[in-house]
Amino acid sequence: MNQPYFIVVLAHSLHGRLRRFHIDQKVVFAVLGLALLGGFTLFGMVSSYLRMAWKVANYNSLREETDFLKVRYQRLLTEAQQTNESMASLKVFASEVSVAYGINSKLDSSPSATLASLTDHQLTPSLSETLEQFNRLKTASLTAPSRFSTRRWMVNTTPSLWPVMGRLLSHYGNREDPFFGHQAFHAGVDISAVVGTPVRATADGVVISADWGGNYGKLIVVDHGNGLQSYYAHLSRMDVIAGQEVRLGQVIAGSGATGRATSPHLHYEVRQGGTPMNPYRYLAKSAVTTATTSRDFAF
């Protein structure tokens, strides 16, 4: 019985000769099978190579990201350590100030526990402890009569000095508001001064506020005892902090135009029991008054 086979005919284009080749069917199927197997093998090799290349690329990317995170982690550790040291410094400073002003009877740590000799545990006080110490300083009543009675240096407690050298621009009492044009009460006096002019305390006292005061801009309030306080507003800088003792003539700030101001000047107030008083009676006691002509006053 004859085996099935394929006939391949080749014809020459010039001679016209024909050649016939008999190829067994099994051979054809075997060649096709080998070709198919080779194709699958080649496809598998290519896909494996591409998958390996993709994994290598991901590995390199992950390694770079890991290295970056390590560097960032080390930086955060350094910043955290610096923050802890700053908090420790603040805690020690707050404790010392508390004792200096009689807020606490003793330091939270031992008297010999300076920052240089603190242990690792002392260098990392909790945030709540540090903030609690700071808030105690901030809210402490420094204006009580008993506190002033212990300050024997407070002898010049009545304002008797011009806070800056200049002329009076606006008087105490009712005046025309420079922003809206209507009549408004002016609780102090405005004294001309270029930005940065030294502002001096007009009497001995304790700074009870050195912060932003809304329309007053940068504002310092000094308590002179017995309910008498002086206000210094529109400052460009503040050279004192709340709780600090100041003396007559001491530079406490620089004049400016912060807050609700149309030009650089110093707004100065004197209050008794929280009620604004006419500062002119205190300014008139200063020797500066004799050197100031009457035309400089806007009363």
Domain boundaries, the chain: 97-139, 168-296
Token couple for 172: 């105490």
Element containing residue 254 per DSSP (H, E): strand 251-255
Among the residue ranges 5-9, 28-32, 38-42, 78-82, the one predicted with the least confidence is 5-9
pLDDT higher than 80, residue 260: yes
Report how far residue 234's alpha carbon sits from residue 83's, in angstroms, rounded to the nearest whole number: 33
Report residue 78 as tokens. 């350094």
| Model pLDDT, residue 133 | 59
d(CA 299, CA 280): 9
Specify the pLDDT at position 261.
Answer: 86
Give the pLDDT score at 134. 58
| Helix or strand run (H / E) with residue 252 | strand 251-255
Given a cut of 60, whether residue 137 has pLDDT beyond it is: no
Q: Measured at the alpha carbon of residue 227, what is the angle toward residues 257 and 280, in degrees to the nearest 5? A: 50
Q: Hey, is 205 helix, strand or coil?
A: strand
Predicted pLDDT of residue 153: 62
- Asked if pLDDT for residue 149 goes beyond 80, the answer is no
pLDDT band of 142, cuts 50, 70, 90: very low
What is residue 12's predicted lDDT score, i.e. its pLDDT? 72
Residue 296 has pLDDT above 80, yes or no: no
Nearest of 54, 38, 4 to residue 24 by alpha carbon: 4
pTM, 2 dp: 0.48
Closest Cα to residue 9, out of 17, 20, 22?
20
pLDDT by residue (tens digit) across 174-207? 777 766 566 778 889 999 999 999 999 999 999 9
Higher pLDDT, 245 or 9: 245
Least confident of 24-28, 149-153, 186-190, 210-214: 149-153
Structure tokens at 193: 């001064």
User: How many C-beta neighbours within 10 Å does residue 158 have?
Assistant: 16
User: What token pair was written down for 70?
Assistant: 């390590």
In whole angstroms, what is the distance from residue 125 CA to residue 85 CA? 9
> Is the model more confident about 235 or about 287?
235
Q: What is the mean pLDDT of residues 275-283?
A: 89
* Cα separation, 261 vs 234, whole angstroms: 7
Higher pLDDT, 17 or 221: 221
Residues 201, 158: Cα–Cα separation, whole Å: 11
Question: Is pLDDT above 80 for 85?
Answer: no
Which pLDDT score is estimated for 269?
A: 95
Between these two residues, 30 and 210, which has the higher pLDDT value?
Answer: 210
Q: What is the mean pLDDT of the chain?
A: 77
CA atoms within 13 A on the CB side of 75: 6
pLDDT of residue 235: 96
Q: Are strands 173-176 and 275-277 parallel, antiparallel or unpaired?
A: unpaired
Q: Report the 10 Å Cβ neighbour count for 39.
A: 10
The two beta strands, 18-24 and 205-212, are unpaired
Residue 151: pLDDT over 80: no
- 296/58: higher pLDDT: 58
Other CB atoms within 10 Å distance of the CB of residue 207: 20
- Average pLDDT of the residues in 34-54: 88
Q: Contact, 285 vs 293, CB < 8 A?
A: no
Closest Cα partner for 158 from 56, 273, 251, 281? 281
Residue 123 — pLDDT band, cuts 50, 70, 90? very low
The stretches of the chain forming alpha helices (DSSP H) are: 25-100, 127-139, 145-149, 280-283
| CATH number of the domain located at residue range(s) 168-296 in this protein | 2.70.70.10
C-alpha neighbours within 13 Å on the C-beta side of residue 248: 12
Q: Name the CA radius of gyration of the chain, rounded.
A: 44
Alpha-carbon gap, residue 11 to 140, rounded angstroms: 115
